[in-house]
Structure 1
Amino acid sequence: MDIAMKATIKTLIASVSIASSISSAIAADYTMRLAHQLPGSHHVAQAIEAFADEVKTNSNGRIEVQIFGGAQLYGPTEFHAAVARGHIEAASIVSLLWGGTIPEMQVFNIPYLMTGRHQLEQFPTSEAAAILDDKMASKGVKNLAWLLDANNAAFTSSDAPLIAPDDFQGTKIRGLSRVFDAGLIAMGASPATMPGSEVYQGLQTGVIDAAITSTDAVYSRRYFEVQDYAVASNLITVYQNIIVNPQWWESLPEDLQSLVESAASSTENVLLPETDEIDPTGIAKLEENNVEVTVLSDEQVDALRIAMQPAVEQAFIESANDGERLIELIKQL
């Protein structure tokens, strides 16, 4: 399919989505079209649906949030521009995608820096979050929410589990970002850049030996079909940011702004973990599919932290103007 045809189809989809909502938009004073990339079964997608319901109910129908999941309207890398330019009112963007635009957002890729329940509870109202909110504002969007996607990750492999730093020596592994990959390199691994959609095939064909993703995603992406081991810990944190167009936001009366902010805060709280335990449901699903799962002990976590964190912190500080300040603030949470 050529570029012109793709653009035409995208325009038609957007036009149909707008036309199909005309009747409901007439009933509402304000419409908030919110795009995201997640499947409907994803826990964050379900939380966004609940956010939409709360906004509509508590505003007595004055605001309607129309959700377009699964990257229906735009690709994930297009969400920021679409919202900033006012093509849609809102989007939910995974924090991993901000790295090239806002280097400071890669602070969440520093191993074991901010993954504990108490830190996650404190973060959305912290000075560190305020700094990142301002960074997003400087890029033409307003951040409404820090929705926790995951605070765990699993290293998957086939030949042997990746538990100790020495286990990574010579392993070809799908990396996450230039900053995070500095930690993999420090352990002797060879990180490879690869779109998420290609990882399964890369594992299947041996292009890469190992991968890293959340325990839930190991199951949903069916890595258990091509990997025998998963080593889980509270390694990094991944957020989804609900961003809105500032001009649209300013068009809302103050009472509706407060109502939307309250709903966003409620959604943040729903997604917080109740304990520091690592996704028992996700682990059980993997074990049911014959994956040998290791949950790292405190001593094993310390070994990985010592091996990875200094290199990742250094790469982060070199890439982000406010990097050192953010690390200090997060360590105080």
Structure 2
Amino acid sequence: MSVMTRRALLGALATSPLWVNPVWAQSSNLKISHQFPGGSVAEGDFRDRLCRMFAAEVEKRTRGALKFSIYPGSSLMKTNAQFSAMRKGALDMSLVPLSYAGGEVPEVNIGLMPGLVTSYDQGMAWKNSEVGKELARILAEKGIVVVSWIWQAGGVASRSKPIIDPEDARGLKVRGGSREMDLILKEAGAAVVTLPSNEIYAGMQTGAMDAALTSSTSLISFRLEEVSKALTTGRAGAYWFMFEPLMMSKAVFDRLPKDQQAAIMAVGGDLETFARKAAQDDDAAVAAVYQRAGARVADLNPATLKKWQDIARNTAWKDYAARNANCAKLLSLAEKLL
């Protein structure tokens, strides 16, 4: 067969209704890793559920060209290794607290900046505002694509008394969750403990820490009521708001055809409504869980919230802005939404 004949045949096939694009014909299996307890689409930690819902819907929209394997409970790799692995293209996707990568990329610590986000409306406004666009740009430069923008309020589980006012933390060993949270805890007189949320239970059980700040969902999923005597919830307001997005390796994302990229981003965006409702439901549910376990439950009021925010302005915010020009710009843009 001559070259011209082969070209003519390929041209005819390409315009045939039976023609299947070879890119779509090849099925890819992508790995999604996270640190949270596993469950199902219908039950369990909403972050695991979101990953499973995402996987099912993207597979449906791509007609099976994209499939996913989900690895909960840090079963694929250690929690703090996920962000770096995505940057290198060694991990496809992860739902992970962004601030965990603050030692590698200091800009991402804005995702757990005490007192900077105090409501879901404010946090969810980031995506389409200047601060969200700038954060997405920086992450793209670092090799990360944000697929779903997810915010969670948090509270404090304690082995003894509720931590409400800053002076309540004095002399205690407390887990904050980020460098910036640690700065305000130190200013309040606490000794800080650094570890991922899936290790809090063991730390509190052994007495290596007295209290821990984490999301309402993690306060439930990791059964911290079993090792706690008190809880301060985020249901009436919080200075602890975590940006915990579903993310994808940009190297992996860029290798996919445009149709598959569009499906991933569309499904990721659609699931943000589910994530917000689930997070807010957990803010309310966590109080009942701890009350049933016999813990004393307390809430923050606006005056107390402002005390923590004032400490943050003079410590964590200043420290973050001084890290580099990107950090200063992100903080300035975020403050516009206060």
TM class, shorter-length:
0.7 to 0.9
Q: Is the Cα contact below 8 Å between 1:117 and 1:275 reproduced in 2?
A: no
Aligned: 1:290 with 2:294:
yes
CA distance in 2, matches of 1:220, 1:85: 30
| Correspondence for 1:255 among 249, 254, 259 | 259
Matched AA of 1:39 = P
Q: Is the Cα contact below 8 Å between 2:175 and 2:212 reproduced in 1?
A: yes
What SS does the aligned partner of 2:328 have? helix
Alignment match, 2:178:
177
Q: Is the Cα contact below 8 Å between 2:100 and 2:178 reproduced in 1?
A: no
CA distance in 2, matches of 1:310, 1:289: 37
Structure 1 residue 210, shift from structure 2 partner: 2.1
What SS does the aligned partner of 1:142 have? strand
CA distance in 2, matches of 1:230, 1:140: 38
TM-score of the aligned structures, taking structure 1 as reference length: 0.82
Deviations 1:90-121 (A, max 9, x none): 23332121211221111132222113122122
Structure 1 residue 292, shift from structure 2 partner: 0.9
Matched AA of 2:119 = G
Structure 1 residue 76, shift from structure 2 partner: 2.1
Q: Is the Cα contact below 8 Å between 2:109 and 2:179 reproduced in 1?
A: no
Matched AA of 1:104 = E
CA distance in 2, matches of 1:316, 1:238: 16
Matched AA of 1:161 = P
What SS does the aligned partner of 1:293 have? strand
Structure 1 residue 277, shift from structure 2 partner: 8.3
Within-5 A mapping of 1:155-304: 155-194=156-195, 196=197, 198-233=199-234, 234-273=238-277, 279-304=283-308
CA distance in 2, matches of 1:85, 1:219: 33
Q: Is the Cα contact below 8 Å between 1:93 and 1:241 reproduced in 2?
A: yes
Alignment match, 1:4:
none
Q: Is the Cα contact below 8 Å between 1:108 and 1:114 reproduced in 2?
A: no
CA distance in 1, matches of 2:330, 2:216: 27
What SS does the aligned partner of 1:225 have? helix
CA distance in 1, matches of 2:61, 2:134: 30
Within-5 A mapping of 1:1-333: 29-40=27-38, 41-148=44-151, 150-151=152-153, 153-194=154-195, 196=197, 198-233=199-234, 234-273=238-277, 279-333=283-337
| Identity over aligned pairs, percent | 24
Q: Is the Cα contact below 8 Å between 2:92 and 2:249 reproduced in 1?
A: yes
Q: Which blocks of at least 5 consecutive residues in structure 2 are unaligned?
A: 1-22, 39-43
Structure 1 residue 291, shift from structure 2 partner: 1.0
* Cα pair distance change 1:307/1:276, threshold 3 Å: farther
Let me know the Cα RMSD of the aligned residues: 2.7
Matched AA of 1:183 = I
What SS does the aligned partner of 1:112 have? coil
Q: Which blocks of at least 5 consecutive residues in structure 1 are unaligned?
A: 1-24
Q: Is the Cα contact below 8 Å between 2:80 and 2:101 reproduced in 1?
A: no
CA distance in 2, matches of 1:265, 1:160: 40
Q: Which region of structure 1 is more displaced relative to structure 2, 205-214 or 194-203?
A: 194-203
CA radius of gyration, larger in: 2
* Cα pair distance change 1:284/1:72, threshold 3 Å: same
* Cα pair distance change 1:109/1:147, threshold 3 Å: closer
Q: Is the Cα contact below 8 Å between 1:175 and 1:181 reproduced in 2?
A: yes
Structure 1 residue ranges, 4+ long, deviating more than 6 angstroms after superposition: 274-278
* Cα pair distance change 1:52/1:316, threshold 3 Å: same
Q: Is the Cα contact below 8 Å between 2:37 and 2:72 reproduced in 1?
A: yes
What SS does the aligned partner of 2:31 have? strand
Matched AA of 1:134 = R
What SS does the aligned partner of 2:52 have? helix
TM-score of the aligned structures, taking structure 2 as reference length: 0.81
Matched AA of 1:85 = K
Matched AA of 1:111 = P
CA distance in 2, matches of 1:47, 1:205: 32
Matched AA of 2:112 = N
Q: Is the Cα contact below 8 Å between 1:115 and 1:236 reproduced in 2?
A: yes
* Cα pair distance change 1:33/1:26, threshold 3 Å: farther
Structure 1 residue 274, shift from structure 2 partner: 8.5
